[in-house]
Amino acid sequence: MELEFALFNLRNGLELLLSLGLLLVKAFAFADAAVRPAAVFVAADKQTKTFWLIVLGLFLVAHVLFPRPIGILNLVGTVAALVYLADARPTMRALRGGSR
């Protein structure tokens, strides 16, 4: 019985760490999109700034309301944030000479 309780606590702790990590990724992606000028999105031939702010903002709010990291909303939101960070952000940084 005590072993089951310890495993349950371990699982809850890992799930909490994963949830916080994914929340930080989404918050960073949203903040990065918020501080970039709208013209850079167009110049990089990526979606508009408004599009990214809406998508990243909605999934950030969804994560706060439904913090379970393996839920469908959080998985889709994590993919959206990672796409922004891996595709749009590097292209925009290159256009701005590496700043921001």
**Residue-wise pLDDT tens digits, 12-36:** 899 999 999 999 999 999 999 999 9
Q: Quote the CA–CA distance of 18 and 40 in Å, as a whole number.
A: 32
Helix (H) or strand (E) holding 59, with range, is helix 49-65
Query: What is the structure's pLDDT at 2?
Result: 77
Would residue 74 count as lying in a domain?
yes
100: in domain: no
* CA gap 85, 11 in Å, rounded: 28
Report the domain count for the chain.
Answer: 1
**Domain range holding 38?**
2-95
Q: Is residue 72 part of a domain?
A: yes
In a domain, 55, yes or no: yes
Rg (CA), the chain: 17
Per-residue pLDDT reduced to its tens digit, 57-99 = 999 999 999 988 889 999 999 999 999 999 999 999 998 755 5
Sign of the Cα pseudo-torsion (87, 67, 55, 38, in order) = negative
Provide the pLDDT confidence category of residue 53 given band limits of 50, 70 and 90: very high
